[in-house]
Structure 1
Amino acid sequence: MSTANLNRTEVTLRSSAVSVTDYRVELDLRSAVDPAVATFKTVTTIEMTSTVDSTWLDFIGRAVESVEVNGRRIAVEYDGARIALNGLSDVNVVQVAALAEYSRSGEGLHRFVDDADGQPYLYTQYEPADARRVFACFEQPDMKAPFTFVVTAPQSWEVLSNQVPVQTDSNSTGSKTVTFAPTLPISTYITAVAAGPYHRVSSGWSRGDLTVELGVLCRASLAQYLDADDVFEVTRQGLDFYADAFDYPYPFGKYDQIFVPEYNLGAMENPGLVTFTESYVFRGKATAEQYQRRANTILHEMAHMWFGDLVTMVWWDDLWLKESFADFMGSLVSVEATRFTDAWVAFAIKRKAWAYVQDQLPTTHPIVADIVDLEAAKLNFDGITYAKGASVLKQLVAFVGRDAFFEASRKYFRANAFGNTRLVDFLDALSTTSGRDMRDWSRAWLETTGVSTLTVEGGELVQTDPRPHRLAVGVYNYGDTGDLVRTARVEVDISAERTPIDVPAGPLILLNDDDLTYAKIRLDAASLATVESSLERVVDPLARGLILSSLWNSVRDGELSVFRYLAVAEQSGPSEPDLAILSSITADAQFAIAHYVPRELRSSAAAGWLATAWKAMFESEPESGRQLAWARACAAAAALDDSRADALRAILLGESPGPIGLALDPDLRWSMWIALAATGFAEPSDLDHELRSDGTSAGRIAHARALASLPTAATKQRVWQAATTDFTLSNDHLDAMIGGFKAGVDASLIEGYAADYFASLRTWWSGRSIEIARRLVNGLFPASGDLIAVDRWLDANADAPASLRRLVLEKRDNLSRDLKVQAFNSAL
């Protein structure tokens, strides 16, 4: 195993022998203004105790210049990932001077140069173990300590870290050195630094004697689009809720939230400096669903200030102790404290859909997983840890009661503040407050894999893969207005495979009504018929979301015709008022056509779906979120069917007015040009002309993707070469190359690259960072239907890294499912 891939056994031994009492990290970022300079100076001073005379520090960088132990220089022993520390005493001061490298992959200290103004922007991203790309450290979550950051940067820049500045010294070179207050004890992966000419908006929040400074930041070129007031509103609502619910004051001082470019994640919970993808800064009109998603993310990260930052897991096995809780709290607080009172709808149809997919893969794992090393940890930021864990917590609250859940949380924080915990610590708190022994519940839900499927058969509720559930069954009838409304609700506890159930008759019987538990549901024949004729008449959006989730899971499992699903989508979608549901309908329909419709029937299905989206775009209310959602659906659908290509070109070129009230913002225009490029209805000159109207960094990436989408063999060869050999491509540019390479309907253009793909897998994995390697492995996987080639690689590479094999196994399973579902639909 590479020394960069820390394993659980060795870090457990290290933390049992070494305790850190203080870090001082000095970073000189003046070199960032010169794109030709790839490195920056980093000095770490660590105060620590030790019961052993030697250990190691983690660091991944260009070079280690010196190592001192208790004022004495020792020989530098550095293998590219670990620095040997020898001659340790009981109490030690260690100092390491090194050269670290600016990142273009979003791991470590990422440097981005804005095409709009030529200015560099820096920010850090560490989870799970990339702080070592910026400074020498003990890179494991259970070795918490206070951190003092000292950053030298150009005088005009904003310089930020987890804490407030306490001293700023101007230098004669036109730079400044900013010293920040020490943090409270935190783990390395949530330390943070950002620097650059960021635009800042300031505000505040107060509660009793506590006052918290609030900041919202973004690149200067995006300042005109930053709706800081809305971000502040959600932030204050969240801080109010958590102050009451957790009865533990926000402990980390100020609360900055910064939107950063080329971000690998949705957000990261660095205390005092939360980072977000700048896709949450809307360059054009945004739908209510986009605002709801941003609010959910803000509240998710805020929950981490307690679940994860204040109390942290010992090792990544218990990653769920923060991510599952934060995912659950994001929706709960959205519903109870903000204007997004339907947030559970989005959770049911979007987040849980991710969990259901992940839990049916051969690589699924328990919520409390066995994480042996860092590579495994990186891949476990998945639908199980987030969405299934959050779903199970929703079931837990239904099981033990809301009061017991929150009282357990309060006890947990008070008992473990600034410490590290395992599963048993939270279960013990919950057992105390609920009066229930939580061990059986934990074994059933946290320590198993798989998802139950619920059906009604002959007066019995039947579940596969039996588990204990508290759930509701809803009965829906037509009211006086012709709408379908719930007229009866039965709440039951089940644990056996079959449980007798007595519910009134009705045209629609909905299992797991209110979405209390984690399970797939199936509709009986009569309910399915009702849904096919009248889904749009179901008044409750959560019920509609659950019904559509049921239909989608049935399609994925090869139990319901994909054409029946598309018929429901085409009938109910144009009138769907809930934008979270609508965005799921449009995304799932598009996916179904590309993956589940048999190849010989795909062109007609694609044409039919584009016709639906086109009509809905023109008939939706002008300037509405639904109109925008359908316009985006049109762009996606037009990449699979060219029947509206001429009309789309005319709209983009101003030769046709297009839908009344539809604002063609840059992102929407690019999505349409990318579709035209993929179908051969755009020339490079068209795309170059569009770039002249949007020369921003986002425009340049979209331009690159559009060029990569052109359906010619020469284009695909150029793009393959760039994606697989150009190490200068940033994470976003690589995604653009991969997206363009896979675009279009002519599979013959890329089928010939399968052999190169399998021959390159191990080289990518060993020669690239895990983030970039993962994008290559997942994004370039051949979709030709050749399972034999995949199996041949798996058989020949039994000794490959487990995390690489996991990715290939998951892609194989997805391909196998596609082929099975296509065969099912061909046979109908």
Structure 2
Amino acid sequence: MHKYVSLLLIYVTAILISCQKQPVQSVEKGVSFQLNQHRRETLDSVRYAITLDIPGQKKERIRGTINISFLMKSVDSPLVLDFNSDSASVLRVQAGGKQVAYTFENEHIVIDQKNLKKGRNEISIAFVAGDLSLNRSDDYLYTLFVPDRASTCFPLFDQPNLKAVYQLTLKTPDAWEAVSNGVLQEKKDEGGRSIYTFGQTKPISSYLFAFAAGKFFKTKQTVGRREMTMYYRETDTAKVSRNRQEVFQLHARSLDWLEAYTAIDYPFGKFDFVLLPSFQYGGMEHPGSIFYNESALFLDENASVNRKMARASVIAHESAHMWFGDLVTMDWFNDVWLKEVFANFMAAKIVHPAFPEINHELRFLLAHYPGAYEVDRTAGTNPILQKLDNLKNAGTLYGTIIYLKAPIVMRQLERKIGEDAMRDKLREYLKTFQFGNATWDDLVRIMDGKSSQEIRKWSNVWVKTGGMPVYELEHKGGNFAAVQAADTVAARIWEQPVLVKTLPGGIIYPNADGLAYGFFKMDPASMDHFAGHYHEAGDSLASDPVFRGAMLVNIWENTLRNYGSDPQKLFGNVLMMLPKEENPLLIDYLLGNLQTTWWNFLDEHSRQQQQAVVEALLWKLLVQVKDKGIKSSYFRSFRNVVRSEQGLGKLESLWSGKLVVKDLVLSEDDKIALACELALKAPAKSSTILKKQLAETQNPDRRQKLQFVMPALSPDEKVRDAFFESLKKEENREKEAWVLEALGYLHHPLRARSAEKYLRPSLDLLQEIQLTGDIFFPTRWTNVTFSGHSSPEAARIAADFLKERPDYPYFLKNKVLQATDQLNRATMLKAHKAR
């Protein structure tokens, strides 16, 4: 708890402590749970009117004013506003039209209660906006305020359960477009500047307020009764034309489906969306103004079915948030999973009608289970519902468990109570709390109702504890059954059915339908039988793609635990299975396992022995396959593993256009990726190839990204060292997608030894990155940093780092444990092989 440094704040503290309601007793950085609760109890009906003056030059500061109107239920303590900047950024504070004194403490503006009154209050503040979450480029900017970053830009009450009405005015350079949550009421030109006035929003949480401004193209379309506007920066007109119609249609279908399912019309009036290059997430659900990663929606001509499904899913996910997250919002960010699980859960339902040719059970299995296991098997796993003491740590709650495990758990709940009951209970939940806030326990109370399902008891295991069950096979009553092994938590029972299939000869396949969640031990004979009879003609079980997917996931998990399989054997089986498989989802999963095993679990000697074989197979399949999406998947895998002189020659010929593979269409992104791969693996040609690619890249955003990444590809270790050193400065980490791509090249397995010296400094930066980066950046920074490493030395660096810091924040400690789990398993498996 921080001490006050002024007599005024000492006096304020004494008053706070003496109050019967026990309001906030201190002003610490961030928004403590205590401050959150106090403001929720004493404030209501909040309205913001914001004006921002955006200069044409990125280096110039943005000035603004904000008028804050609110009802105050009691005036027994100072008013605390959040402004995560410095005191010099506060230019003037007025209350009731008069300038007043204030205290700036720990990123808060504190106004004495003598300047406040019971009932309606008006506070006006002139300020200099902070840049941390404004994502400014030379000719455009966009906000990203989740989870607590609105206060890095302007003063406000930055917590989700103080929903407010926002009205925004933006002054921009005259050539810029602008978009925000509210309807554009007026645009006028004044002195070479454009002034955009947006109408009032519905009540929304602070992290959902947003705007973007800059040199954007835009296009409108009306689908059915709904008008939508798309803003974008992509300069490839053919790509835009190829994708435009489908992007609008996918939004319209998602919104129509959600209106029917929830029995509530789209709640926020207008519907716009903005496509941004190198956006930090797939999408962000600002009501009335969704932001997307441009590459997620504008697909290349040869996009695989997985890419198309991913696009449909991200659109459905963000559309679902309009109801689940925006209309009804979590009360505190510990329940952030609640909005994410329903967005993912609804997205899985929504995409089914749009892709009738896809096996959706298989798609759900492969899209959720492997990724969830990646974290849940680690020592750093966490429950779905986590604890949170301060919003400044809210970003660390985001991750694989809430995005991938939670939908699995929610599907279990739907199977438990039935689809109709699930829909009816969710309708009740949305109508009860619309334009307000709710908790998971609020929903559990609705779910339980008068039923005898004991949802709370089920929730206490699946939602409120971490990890997963382990199942062993036992012979019971003439049949084999999967029996839960002794759990790490006493008396914890993971309630779920597990289907076991048995074949003659003692062949046993646990979780054969892929529905249950956990680690399912398999005996070596059954794994060998599965590989030897993979997709065998006439075998009804082997011909079921869901069964194949479930067993492939099981075998991967058993291999990682060194239980009846090893990476060398798995790799050989994958090479044998790929030519037999035609399902694009399973091909992508097999190729993912192949590449991970190749770089992380096989040693250099094994790779050299099999280099020619794996390149020949992938090239053969690439050339032979007719499906353009699958062809693209084989192309990316070939590009990833190739190292031979002959193979690199093919890559260079593809890049230069001298070699053309039928139906393999290479986009500008593909050409850049080829150039980078060649620069990495053919260092003598690195400079020539990258300079040529830079000169030929037409899109200005992609050109800037390539310029940023190039030093990480340099064959000169000193240049790479200097580039890594530059990342220690916050301003050089602004474009997080660029940083992550560059880190991938710095830590590529071929450069792993020289990159070991970056590991400790990267870990040293983690706490700073958590404070300055966006919500996924700490996880991605750590994951990419360790992704190319498989040596005992790298594992030791991470272990020593944590050992030396017994009081290291547990949420960041978990990120390190998650990121290094595969590294630790790789070193263990290699040591086992050596013995």
Same fold (TM over 0.5): yes
Could you tell me which residue of structure 1 aligns to residue 71 of structure 2? 48
Q: Is the 8 A contact 2:679 2:713 kept in 1?
A: yes
* Cα distance in structure 2, aligned partners of 1:469 and 1:641: 51
Q: Is the 8 A contact 1:473 1:511 kept in 2?
A: yes
SS of residue paired to 1:727:
helix
1:711 counterpart letter in structure 2 = P
Could you tell me which residue of structure 2 aligns to residue 676 of structure 1? 678
Following superposition of structure 1 onto structure 2, how do residues 612-631 of structure 1 map, counting pairs within 5 Å? 612-621=617-626, 624-631=628-635
Report the Cα offset of residue 161 of structure 1: 1.3
Could you tell me which residue of structure 2 aligns to residue 9 of structure 1? 34
Match of 2:456 among 422, 439, 454: 439
Match of 1:380 among 379, 397, 400: 397
Report the Cα offset of residue 742 of structure 1: 1.2
* Cα distance in structure 1, aligned partners of 2:222 and 2:29: 41
Match of 2:173 among 154, 169, 178: 154
Q: Is the 8 A contact 2:498 2:511 kept in 1?
A: yes
Is 1:300 paired with 2:317?
A: yes
Could you tell me which residue of structure 1 aligns to residue 17 of structure 2? none
* Cα distance in structure 2, aligned partners of 1:552 and 1:126: 38
Could you tell me which residue of structure 1 aligns to residue 561 of structure 2? 557
Could you tell me which residue of structure 2 aligns to residue 94 of structure 1? 123
Could you say if the C-alpha distance between residues 330 and 362 of structure 1 is closer, same or farther in structure 2, counting changes exceeding 3 Å?
same
Report the Cα offset of residue 296 of structure 1: 0.6
* Cα distance in structure 2, aligned partners of 1:411 and 1:558: 48
Could you say if the C-alpha distance between residues 457 and 15 of structure 1 is closer, same or farther in structure 2, counting changes exceeding 3 Å?
same
Greater Cα offset, 608-617 or 624-633: 608-617
Report the Cα offset of residue 267 of structure 1: 0.7
Q: Is the 8 A contact 2:101 2:111 kept in 1?
A: no
Q: Is the 8 A contact 1:7 1:373 kept in 2?
A: yes
Could you tell me which residue of structure 2 aligns to residue 722 of structure 1? 726
Could you tell me which residue of structure 1 aligns to residue 655 of structure 2? 652
Report the Cα offset of residue 605 of structure 1: 4.8
* Cα distance in structure 1, aligned partners of 2:572 and 2:130: 53
Instruction: Provide TM-score, normalisation by structure 2.
Output: 0.87
Report the Cα offset of residue 109 of structure 1: 1.9
* Cα distance in structure 1, aligned partners of 2:615 and 2:393: 40
Could you tell me which residue of structure 2 aligns to residue 694 of structure 1? 697
Report the Cα offset of residue 88 of structure 1: 2.2
Q: Identity of aligned pairs, percent?
A: 24
Q: Is the 8 A contact 1:400 1:434 kept in 2?
A: no
Could you tell me which residue of structure 2 aligns to residue 421 of structure 1? 438
Following superposition of structure 1 onto structure 2, how do residues 533-552 of structure 1 map, counting pairs within 5 Å? 533-537=532-536, 538-552=542-556
* Cα distance in structure 2, aligned partners of 1:300 and 1:605: 41
Greater Cα offset, 237-246 or 449-458: 449-458
* Cα distance in structure 1, aligned partners of 2:767 and 2:455: 43
* Cα distance in structure 2, aligned partners of 1:607 and 1:70: 77
Greater Cα offset, 320-329 or 675-684: 675-684
Q: Is the 8 A contact 1:375 1:803 kept in 2?
A: no
Could you tell me which residue of structure 2 aligns to residue 326 of structure 1? 343
Could you say if the C-alpha distance between residues 174 and 284 of structure 1 is closer, same or farther in structure 2, counting changes exceeding 3 Å?
farther
1:88 counterpart letter in structure 2 = L
Match of 1:576 among 574, 581, 589: 581
1:403 counterpart letter in structure 2 = D
Partner deviation per Cα, 1:623-665 (whole Å, 9 max, x = no partner): 6211111111111112x6666223322332344x242332222
SS of residue paired to 1:171:
strand
Could you say if the C-alpha distance between residues 772 and 323 of structure 1 is closer, same or farther in structure 2, counting changes exceeding 3 Å?
closer
Is 1:70 paired with 2:87?
A: no
Could you tell me which residue of structure 2 aligns to residue 747 of structure 1? 752
Partner deviation per Cα, 1:262-314 (whole Å, 9 max, x = no partner): 21111111111111111222255312211110101111111111111111111
Report the Cα offset of residue 802 of structure 1: 3.9
* Cα distance in structure 2, aligned partners of 1:679 and 1:768: 31
Q: Is the 8 A contact 2:202 2:268 kept in 1?
A: yes
Aligned length: 780
Is 1:26 paired with 2:45?
A: no
Greater Cα offset, 35-44 or 9-18: 35-44
SS of residue paired to 2:190:
coil
Report the Cα offset of residue 138 of structure 1: 0.8
* Cα distance in structure 1, aligned partners of 2:503 and 2:755: 55
Match of 1:140 among 159, 167, 175: 159
* Cα distance in structure 2, aligned partners of 1:774 and 1:524: 34
Q: Is the 8 A contact 2:53 2:172 kept in 1?
A: yes
Is 1:461 paired with 2:482?
A: yes
Could you say if the C-alpha distance between residues 823 and 9 of structure 1 is closer, same or farther in structure 2, counting changes exceeding 3 Å?
farther
SS of residue paired to 1:671:
helix
Report the Cα offset of residue 789 of structure 1: 3.5
Partner deviation per Cα, 1:113-167 (whole Å, 9 max, x = no partner): 4xxxxxx122221111111122211111111122112222234433211121223
Report the Cα offset of residue 410 of structure 1: 0.7
1:56 counterpart letter in structure 2 = V
Report the Cα offset of residue 345 of structure 1: 2.4
* Cα distance in structure 2, aligned partners of 1:27 and 1:174: 16
* Cα distance in structure 1, aligned partners of 2:610 and 2:63: 54
Is 1:806 paired with 2:814?
A: yes
* Cα distance in structure 2, aligned partners of 1:324 and 1:230: 25
Following superposition of structure 1 onto structure 2, how do residues 310-459 of structure 1 map, counting pairs within 5 Å? 310-336=327-353, 338-339=355-356, 341-432=358-449, 435-458=452-475, 459=480
Could you say if the C-alpha distance between residues 239 and 747 of structure 1 is closer, same or farther in structure 2, counting changes exceeding 3 Å?
closer
Could you tell me which residue of structure 1 aligns to residue 276 of structure 2? 260
* Cα distance in structure 1, aligned partners of 2:270 and 2:142: 18
Is 1:228 paired with 2:253?
A: no
* Cα distance in structure 2, aligned partners of 1:251 and 1:75: 40
Q: Is the 8 A contact 1:65 1:99 kept in 2?
A: yes
Match of 2:253 among 234, 237, 242: 237
Could you say if the C-alpha distance between residues 754 and 160 of structure 1 is closer, same or farther in structure 2, counting changes exceeding 3 Å?
closer
Report the Cα offset of residue 456 of structure 1: 3.2
* Cα distance in structure 2, aligned partners of 1:817 and 1:285: 36
Is 1:39 paired with 2:62?
A: yes
Q: Is the 8 A contact 2:177 2:215 kept in 1?
A: yes
Q: Is the 8 A contact 1:349 1:584 kept in 2?
A: yes
* Cα distance in structure 2, aligned partners of 1:338 and 1:44: 48
2:246 counterpart letter in structure 1 = D
Match of 1:666 among 668, 692, 717: 668
* Cα distance in structure 2, aligned partners of 1:615 and 1:703: 34
* Cα distance in structure 2, aligned partners of 1:247 and 1:506: 53
Q: Is the 8 A contact 1:260 1:277 kept in 2?
A: yes
* Cα distance in structure 2, aligned partners of 1:443 and 1:771: 27
Partner deviation per Cα, 1:509-537 (whole Å, 9 max, x = no partner): 54434433322334455542332123234
1:592 counterpart letter in structure 2 = T
Partner deviation per Cα, 1:536-576 (whole Å, 9 max, x = no partner): 34333322222221122122222221122212321222443
1:237 counterpart letter in structure 2 = R
Greater Cα offset, 746-755 or 312-321: 746-755
Could you say if the C-alpha distance between residues 292 and 310 of structure 1 is closer, same or farther in structure 2, counting changes exceeding 3 Å?
same
Give RMSD over aligned pairs.
2.8
Q: Is the 8 A contact 1:44 1:135 kept in 2?
A: no
Instruction: Provide TM-score, normalisation by structure 1.
Output: 0.88
Q: Is the 8 A contact 1:368 1:446 kept in 2?
A: yes
SS of residue paired to 1:724:
coil
Unaligned regions of 5+ residues in structure 2, if any? Answer: 3-27, 537-541
Q: Is the 8 A contact 2:220 2:229 kept in 1?
A: yes
Q: Is the 8 A contact 1:598 1:826 kept in 2?
A: no
Could you tell me which residue of structure 2 aligns to residue 486 of structure 1? none
* Cα distance in structure 2, aligned partners of 1:588 and 1:42: 53
Partner deviation per Cα, 1:179-227 (whole Å, 9 max, x = no partner): 2222111101111112223222222355xxxx43222221152554221
Could you tell me which residue of structure 2 aligns to residue 499 of structure 1? none
Is 1:793 paired with 2:810?
A: no
Q: Is the 8 A contact 1:456 1:524 kept in 2?
A: no
Greater Cα offset, 137-146 or 749-758: 749-758
Greater Cα offset, 547-556 or 528-537: 528-537
2:330 counterpart letter in structure 1 = M
Could you tell me which residue of structure 2 aligns to residue 821 of structure 1? 829
